[in-house]
Amino acid sequence: MRFLVDQCLSPEIAVALGNAGHDVVHVRELGMQRAGDPEVLEHARRDDRVLISADTDFGTLLAKTAAARPSVVIFRRSSGRRPTAQAGLLLANLPAITEALDAGSVVVLEEARLRLRGLPIRP
């Protein structure tokens, strides 16, 4: 799977996902560490990557624009803050969410549960 890791998350997540065989890039590698959320979201869409973030604003942006892409994975605080724990949580749940991510979804990951919302989000 192709991922773009947002600035608010550690580059260690990108390393862990890459070590698991995924095509992953952190926004810092692209020189986008100061880019706004709309620009990061657009880059993920153009490059056909699933955006990984802890910023819930991405769900709001997708809803406002009724966009069908890109898919976004959002870590909630209850998912832990350690990059290794976050990467492990995503990798453990990836088999269950791959189809939804391929179809266009927002996935919210917490330690004890996950939530899926298909795109586009309509009011």
Other CB atoms within 10 A of residue 109 CB: 21
Quick one: pLDDT at residue 80? Answer: 61
pLDDT tens track for 42-81: 999 999 999 999 999 999 999 999 999 999 999 987 556 7
Rounded Cα distance, 72 and 59, in Å: 8
* Amino acid code (one letter) for 59: G
pTM: 0.95
The SS3 call for residue 37 is helix
Nearest to 48 by CA among 25, 74, 15, 18: 25
